[in-house]
Amino acid sequence: MTKEVKKVCLVTISLSKGGAERSTALLSKMLVDAEFDVHIVVLTNQIDYEYSGKLLNLGKLKSKQDSLFNRFKRFKILRSYLLEHQFDFIIDSRNRQFAVKELFYLYFIYKNFKIIYAVRSFKIEMYLPKINWIAKQMISKSTKIVGVSKAVSKRINEFYQTEKAVTIYNPVETLDVKEFNCSSKEKYIVFIGRLENRVKNINLLIEGYELSNLRNENIRLKIIGTGSDKEHIVDKIKALEIVDYVDFIPFTPHITDYLKNALYLVLTSHYEGFPRVLIESLSVGIPVISVDCQSGPNEIILNEVNGLLIENYNSQVLSNAMNRFVYDNDLYQKCKTNAKDSVKHLNLENIASQWIKILNYE
């Protein structure tokens, strides 16, 4: 008897530049490996991450003016595509802030389909509109809401008085150590993420580095990413007179060299979901320093075991943590030794099994 192959459509803004987008690309690989028929719909023409399955790139159809007519044309193509393939599930990873737009998706684009909404940030209003009755309609008509951390899922369930939100962590892919250039003699710490202060709070990173002793030890700061606040960040670095010690590197999907050769990675966000940069750093044996923001870091970091989990919004505390990992070699080596094993449970096979359980549930 031939096994029935389930068809899954992943809907995302892009496959580029962000942890959420990277996680969607990995989800496509996991489901294809599990013998699902996977299709990905991207709404903008931005594709940097490797993915598996068939791709519908609606971003290629965008005009420069992107008129209302042009948008409806893409909506119609998407609806026709869903009807043509009769997917068993749609997994929607888009930002979903605009209430009227989400009603259109719910009652036209996704009509008569099983929907799983992914929520990839503690700021749940990015994924469920602030107009509560519309958010509740989305939840009611969904099969599941998948939060990327326990804190995210708990917040959804409590706020909307539902039990539909479940937690599936972001996976970490085994990175190929053969790609690494381990001959580098340069000493540095690294930040990886979008250059947006309203989310990543890079001002705190800069202030902590300036207060620390790292420059005295010839340890540089590398900032990897692109974003709208780069000019502001450069101005701050100039004002603090540390421009000679900070390197900017544009976004690249190939971060393995930078991670493997770093002393440690730093995260200073206002909020997160389940930050990929932490688990990817740990997966290659590089310890991390992170503020205890909502949410994710305290579900990844065991303080003084695989990294340092510190108070948020305190540049002196951050600088002290930076110094500890330089001068307390026993602590640093302990965290470095424990790094890889601390994220073993996030391997593709384990995370895939949790998705498969949901998708096979009738």
Q: What is the SS3 assignment for the chain? A: CCCCCCEEEEEECCECCCHHHHHHHHHHHHHHHCCCEEEEEECCCCECCCCCCEEEEHHHHCCCCCCHHHHHHHHHHHHHHHHHHCCCEEEECCCCCCHHHHHHHHHHHCCCCCEEEEECCCCHHHCCCCCHHHHHHHHHHCCEEEECCHHHHHHHHHHHCCCCEEECCCCECCCCHHHCCCCCCCCEEEEECCCCHHHHCHHHHHHHHHHCCHHHHCCEEEEECCCCCHHHHHHHHHHCCCHHHEEEECCCCCCHHHHHCCCCEEECCCECCCCHHHHHHHHCCCCEEEECCECCHHHHCCECCCEEEECCCCHHHHHHHHHHHHHCHHHHHHHHHHHCHHHHHHEHHHHHHHHHHHHCCC
pLDDT by 10s per residue, the chain, length 362: 456 789 999 999 999 988 889 999 999 999 999 999 999 999 999 999 999 999 999 999 887 777 888 888 999 999 999 999 999 999 999 999 999 999 999 999 999 999 999 999 999 999 999 999 999 999 999 999 999 999 999 999 999 999 999 999 999 987 655 444 444 579 999 999 999 999 999 999 999 999 999 999 999 999 999 999 999 999 999 999 999 999 999 988 888 889 999 999 999 999 999 999 999 999 999 999 999 999 999 999 999 999 999 999 999 999 999 999 999 999 999 999 999 999 999 999 999 999 999 998 64
Walk me through the domains of the chain, giving residue ranges and CATH numbers.
Answer: 7-171+347-359 (3.40.50.2000), 177-344 (3.40.50.2000)
